[in-house]
Amino acid sequence: MLVVVCVKQVPDTTQVQIDPVTNTLIREGVPFIVNPYDTHAVEEALRFKDRFGCRVAAISMGPPNAEATLRKALAQGVDRAVLLSDRSFGGADTLATSKVLAAAIEKLAKEEEVGVVICGKQTIDGDTAQVGPGIATRLNFSQLTLVDRVDELDLSGKKIRVSRKLEGRHEHVEAPLPVLLTVVRELNRPRYPTVAMRLESADAQVEVWDNKVLQLDVNGIGLKGSPTWVSRIFSPERAKGEMLGDGAHDPEGAAQLLIDKMLEKDLLAL
Amino acid sequence: MMPQTAIFTTLLVASLLFFCWSVYRRFSLLCYGQPEERLDQPARRLAEMFLYAFAQLRVLRKPFGLNHFVIFWSFMILALANGEFLVNGVFPSVSLALLPEGVHRALLLAFDAVSLLTLFAIAFSFIRRLVVKPPHLDSLYVKGRSPEAFLILSFIALLMLAYFGLHGSLIALGMEDPSAMPVSSLVGSWLSSHPDLIPALRNVSWWLHAFVLFAFICFLPHSKHMHILTAIPNCYFGALAWPATQPREKFEKGAVYGVGTVERFTWKDLFDSFTCTECGRCQAACPATITGKALNPRQIVHAIKTNLLENGDALREGRSGTLPLIGAEGEGTNTEDAIWSCTTCGACMEACPVLIEQMPKIVKMRRHLVETESRFPEELLNLFENMEQRSNPWGIAPGERAKWVSTLPVKPFVAGETEYLLYVGCAGSFDSRAKQVTVALATVLNAAGISWGILGKDEKCCGDSLRRLGNEYLFEKMALENVELFRQRGVTKVITLCPHCLTTLKNDYRQYGLELEVVHQSELIADLIRSGRIKLDKKDDSLGKIAYHDPCYLGRHNDIFEAPRTLVQAATGVAPVETERHGRNSFCCGAGGGRMWMEEFTGERVNHARVDELLAQKPDTICVACPYCMTMMEDGLKDKGAGQVRVRDVVEVLAEGLLRKNA
């Protein structure tokens, strides 16, 4: 059985700034990182590999330099890495993205049965959390989002039981395979690549599939296939705060003022 | 041949054969260790050997070391007497009496005197172990009151007693001249009044002397007393430069990283383990041991020896041993907890009388855990990712590196235009408290008219914590980037704020072919004070009584003890008060070796222990010269409810003095 993990290269948001004039992200010089949720997805796939001996493929849609993200997954131990890169994929929204990823997974499934697809719950640049569910829909897979624990993966019975982390509660659910999971950070602690794996991965092959391989209708993918687009990005203006007391000379008084203020605004529960 | 001679010769030959076989069995195991260059510069090595092995410089640092000094030199002198005894036993016609009369008499006098001295020294050793036993004599597996220790002491005492018994008898029989042997002649004159005892005592003493010597020869290579064979060469093979750094690793496919099995240590590491005589001085100095952590540097060395001996047969057969070096329970293995408890402060190495290097062995095992096993305390995952991704331990955006500058007139470093690069470091750039120190340093440098600049956003972390934590792969990546950056920018002279940056740029980057002139801020400023470029006429006493805490990486690792004290003295007119452990023997703040980024779950906190020691001096201000120490002292004082005591970097004290002068 093959486990497919979807990963994305995202700009390091701690280092992203918005150009106040053009209201666009200043991308220049900003380093890229692996979408943090996706690192947990990779880890869970590798745990399936450790436990059941299944193979793991990582796929990513992005520009050629997104190869670095896949190389990191290779260093952690995935068996195969495929970069989906083509000019016609560019400018895609979540719908067009999930079409390309689903097509790639279908292609992988022709070589080896895909039992589980794992995605991060969302990416930190788009924050939509739509691509995972979009893929599941297109593949007609069971769809379990916000997974924070996998209780059981039953390969012979072809079912999976997980815990979903919802606001204020957990949900224990079971679904038949094939399944798509989107995962939260609480799920696991990603492994740190050993030096041997890093050196291996440096020379490992990252396959690149363009649209000649996937053969998708160019009107359904990329910018052309995207019904949504970003009209504006901006940093919300923050109202100027107020200074309370004199923390340097009267810290206790200042703390008291702060507590009163928070009670007044109903920010503290008593 | 007399029957006595025949028996003696047989036993001697058997003992010597057993000794040689045992020594061969043990020392041939060194061949399984990795190569390491320890034979260069023989003249310097001989000098070190003379100082540490023969002059016992480090042994004598502790008062009781005098006792060892007496035993050691008595042993050296008596080696001649014992040598004569053995030769004479085989060839009765050969003895020291063949030497010129004067020389022979002088030797007899010396033998007699040092034998008595040794008896006293052994008595003191018994008292020390039985009555006033210091706690550091005990480790988990080797106890101060072990049968082995008493057996060795008893052997020595018996040899001395047998010596006096034998020579007293000979004097009483008129076969030796009493005038050269005052102690033996006392025994002799007592025997004269018991003539019936003389022949028996002569025989018993002679055979006792013989048997104890044989037993000693057989037992020696199997006991911790083996140090009498290894300590002298170990001082010869000792590190010529203080090992403040770790060796590079070669990163290539199929290579093995760090030390995960005992044969991955170098032969010198293994030789160290054969040299340790379990004196416990390292454990008495180790901040981890003292505060109740799993680590005891002495046990690390003991574990290496035990593991090597246990796995020796397997190694001879070309297999790896079955007793794991890391992670198992019991003797001969190291717990991961112990390996991660080290602050790399170097107190153990400073304490060891025979130059054993404990700390680098711990880092080598960390390398194995991080690079091969990918197993480390989970707090470190964030640190490693932050370092790799954002080149600072907190994961703050690199773009914010120069934010401390704010309104100060700070220039970028340009080769040819600015003399010094001020390498601010991560703490000085991002930590809010350390940023105040950076500003103070900038103020002082400007006041003294120093030409300096910064790299600003282009500055990267030096990688110190990574290297000490055993993440050598990532360290190397960062070191190579920095070396390239410094070369590109034409940096030759560097000022650092932090002793960890200092040691990394100065001692570690040298391995990458970058020779920089690196000074710690306190050194540079102390020079400016001495040359009169910084003058403080009005002394500032607003900080009250100041106690100075030596940062390990400034003091012990880089020999900078006076400079920071000079700054305090110049600003306040008074030298800082000293804690009991200071200078070379200073006690770590608890943050070195990457411990800054780890939780401290077991025992007392190291910084609490240090703060208590400093508070005993009743200071108003604690002075430090390292951002890690700053954090640890401030946190420690808060925890101890001593928030009224301030913590200042020495450069802040000076800057405040300068501001007051200008005001």
Beta-carbon count within 10 A of B377 CB: 17
> What's B415's DSSP letter?
B
Q: Work out whether strand B517-520 and strand B493-496 pair parallel, antiparallel, or are unpaired.
A: parallel
How confident is the model over B193-216, as pLDDT tens digits?
988 989 999 999 999 999 999 999
pLDDT of residue A243: 81
pLDDT of residue B398: 87
pLDDT of residue A13: 74
Assess B430–A contact: CB distance below 8 Å, yes or no: no
Residue closest to B78 by CA, chosen among B200, B148, B164: B164
Per the structure block, which two tokens stand in for B612? Answer: 């208590």
**Element at A241 (helix H, strand E):** none
* Whole-angstrom distance, CA of residue A127 vs CA of residue A121: 9
Distance from CA of A264 to the nearest CA of B (A): 31
For residue B388, list chain A residues with Cβ-Cβ distance below 8 A.
none
pLDDT of residue A231: 80
Assess B372–A contact: CB distance below 8 Å, yes or no: yes
Interface contact flag, B398 A195, Cβ < 8 Å? no
Average pLDDT of every residue of chain B: 94
For residue A200, list chain B residues with Cβ-Cβ distance below 8 A.
253
Assess B398–A contact: CB distance below 8 Å, yes or no: yes
Question: Is residue A24 predicted with pLDDT exceeding 70?
Answer: no
Q: Per-residue pLDDT averaged across A15-26, rounded?
A: 68
Contact B370, B254 (CB under 8 A): no
pLDDT of residue B536: 83
For residue A193, list chain B residues with Cβ-Cβ distance below 8 A.
374
Distance from CA of A239 to the nearest CA of B (A): 23
Peptide bond into A178 cis (omega under 30): yes
Assess B376–A contact: CB distance below 8 Å, yes or no: yes
pLDDT of residue A210: 96
Question: What residue in A sits closest to B472 (Cα-Cα)?
Answer: A195
Domain residues of chain B, as ranges?
3-16+46-237, 262-373, 382-662
pLDDT of residue A186: 95
For residue A199, list chain B residues with Cβ-Cβ distance below 8 A.
251-253
What residues of chain A, 2 to 31, have a C-beta less than 8 Å from chain B? 12, 14-15, 17, 31
CATH code of the region B262-373 = 1.10.1060.10
Residue closest to B467 by CA, chosen among B239, B243, B246, B241: B246
Per the structure block, which two tokens stand in for B241? Answer: 């430069």
Question: What residue in A sits closest to B390 (Cα-Cα)?
Answer: A31
Hunting for tokens 């970028």 — which residue is that? B412
pLDDT of residue A270: 62
Assess B252–A contact: CB distance below 8 Å, yes or no: yes
Distance from CA of B322 to the nearest CA of A (A): 24
Q: Which residues contact B281 (CB under 8 A, 6 or more apart)?
A: B62, B136, B351, B352, B353
Q: Work out whether strand A9-11 and strand A32-34 pair parallel, antiparallel, or are unpaired.
A: antiparallel
Distance from CA of B658 to the nearest CA of A (A): 24
Q: Per-residue pLDDT averaged across A220-236, rounded?
A: 85
- Work out the angle at residue B551's Cα, subtended by the Cα atoms of residues B550 and B555, and round it to the nearest 5 degrees: 75
Residues in chain B predicted with pLDDT less than 50, given as ranges, are: none
Q: Which CATH number fits domain B3-16+46-237: 2.60.40, 1.10.3210, 1.10.20, 1.20.950?
A: 1.20.950
Which of A192, A194, A198 faces B384 most closely, judged by CB atoms? A192
Q: Per-residue pLDDT averaged across A22-32, rounded?
A: 70
pLDDT of residue B1: 61
Interface contact flag, B374 A193, Cβ < 8 Å? yes
pLDDT of residue B662: 64
Contact B183, B167 (CB under 8 A): no
* Whole-angstrom distance, CA of residue B397 vs CA of residue B380: 19
pLDDT of residue B183: 95
Which of A33, A190, A192 faces B389 most closely, judged by CB atoms? A33
Distance from CA of B18 to the nearest CA of A (A): 45
